[in-house]
Amino acid sequence: MHVFQTIYQNSHWDKPLPQCLSSNLLLAFGSPELMLSKQLNDELSIAFPNAQIVGCSTSGEIQDDCLYDNSICVTAIDFDHTQVQVVSHSINQFEHCTELAKQLVGELSLDGLKHVLVISDGQLVNGSELVDGLQQYLPQGVMATGGLAGDGERFSQTTVWHNKRIESGLIVLVGLYGERLSVGCGSLGGWRPFGPKREITKSTDNVLYELDGRPALDLYKEFLGEFSSGLPASALLYPLALQQHGEQEHVVRTILSIDERQKSMLFAGNMTEGATCQLMHSNYEDLLEGAQLAADNAGASFTETPVELAILISCVGRRLVFGQRVEEELEIIKQGLPEQCVISGFYSYGEISPVKSIGRCGLHNQTMAVTLLSEK
C-alpha cells in the first residue's frame, strides 16, 4: 500500500499534486464550497486519473493528528493487493433507505468482498435504516464502517462526493476486495448516562414525539433550561443513550433538528417505540479514554502486519466538548499506531461501526469510530 497526502487550504496545496499517480482510491474530506470548485476537481482528476474519488463535507477535517477547517484533506491510496469497487446513489431516488441499501449492495460484486467503507449524506438520510439495510444485504462476515457527512454546527445541508457527482442526498459504498487485506474496527464514546430512564411512547422512524407520554421537545427543553435557545446545536452536549428491549448495550443518539409545532425532535437514527433512553453527559477525560479504547479495539487483530492506514470518524459533539483540546484525541490515537501509519478522517453527524455485543454494524453518534487497514 502506497499513500500520498496533501491539503488544499488558503488557495494552495501544501504539497504539490503529483503527475498521474497510479492510486485507485482517493479520499477527500472538506468544505462544500471547495468541493464544488471545478478547478480543484480538474486538478485531482488529472493528478489521479485512475482513482475513484470519494469524500464529503465535514464538521472538521482530520489528517495525521491535526484538525483542519475550510480545507480539502486528500488521501490517495494505491493498494498493492486490494481491488476497489465504488457505487453510489441518491436517497432522492428511493422511498426508504433500506431500498437504497439493497440497490447499492446489489451493484457491488460480492465475490471476495472483504470490507465496505460507507460515506453518506448526514441530513437527508435515516442512518439507522441505511445501516440495517446494509447489514441485511451484505454477505455474512462482511462489515461496514464509515460515517455521515457533516456541516459544521449549522445542521443545514451536507454534501457527498463521488467522482463528478457532488451533491446532497448521496450515499457511496467503497468495496474492498482481497485476502491480503487486513481490517480492524473499533468505536467508543466515553459518554455517561445520568438521570431517569424514560420510555419512548411515540415515534416514527427517527422522529421522536413523546417520552413517558409527554412531548419530547418540552421535556428536553426543561432539562436544558437557558441552553434550549441554542437547539439543535446545544443538544450535542447532551445526547441520549438508546437501549432497545432485550439488548444490554446502548447506542448514542444526537438530535439533528427540532420541530416546535409538533414538539418533536429528529435524530440521525431511529428512535423505536418501547425502547428506553436516558440523558448523557461527558468530560474531557472520559472522551479521551473512549478514543484510545476505540483505537485499541481496532488494532487488537493486527498481529502479523503493521497498520498502514487509519480512518478516524469522530462526532461533532465530541469536538464541542473538547474545545481547543480536540486534537488531543487524535494525538492519543496516533501514539498507539506504527510510526509509518497514515491517518485520515473527519468530524461527522454519525458514525458507522460494529456494535460489539450483537456482532453487527450499527449507527452511532458522539463516538470515535476507527477503521484500520493493512496489506499482507
Residue 261: all three cell numbers together? 409545532
pLDDT above 80 for 268: no
- Please tell me the predicted confidence (pLDDT) of residue 86: 98
Q: What is the pLDDT of residue 237?
A: 83
Return the closest-CA partner of residue 57 out of 41, 38, 35, 85.
Answer: 35
Residue with cell 468530524: 347
Mean pLDDT across the chain:
92
Residue range 326-332: mean pLDDT, rounded = 96
Predicted pLDDT at 57:
97
CA geometry: angle 335, 115, 21, nearest 5 deg: 75
Q: Cell numbers at residue 165, please?
A: 457527482
d(CA 210, CA 218): 9
Q: What are phi and psi of 294, to 5 degrees?
A: -60, -45
DSSP 230-283: GTTGGGGGS-EEEE-TT-S--EEE-EEEEETTTTEEEESS---TT-EEEEEE--
Span 16-70, pLDDT tens digits? 999 878 899 999 999 989 999 999 999 999 999 999 999 999 999 999 999 999 9
Find the mean pLDDT for residues 335-356.
93
Each residue's pLDDT tens digit, 221-234:
988 888 888 888 88
| Sheet with 165-167: strands ordered across | 12-13, 2-9, 72-78, 25-30, 52-57, 160-162, 165-167
**Residue 93 pLDDT > 80:** yes
CA distances from 49 to 18, 22, 56, 82, 356 (A): 11, 7, 20, 18, 39
Mean pLDDT of 286-292: 92
Distances (CA, A) of 359 to 183, 256, 323: 15, 27, 33
Reply yes or no: is the peptide bond before residue 338 cis, omega within 30 of 0.
Answer: no
Strands (DSSP E) contained in 10-111 are 12-13, 25-30, 52-57, 61-63, 66-68, 72-78, 83-90
Segment 114-142 shows an average pLDDT of 93
Helix (H, G, I), strand (E, B) or coil at 189: coil
Overall size of the chain counted in residues: 376
Q: What are the beta bridge partners of residue 210?
A: 202, 215
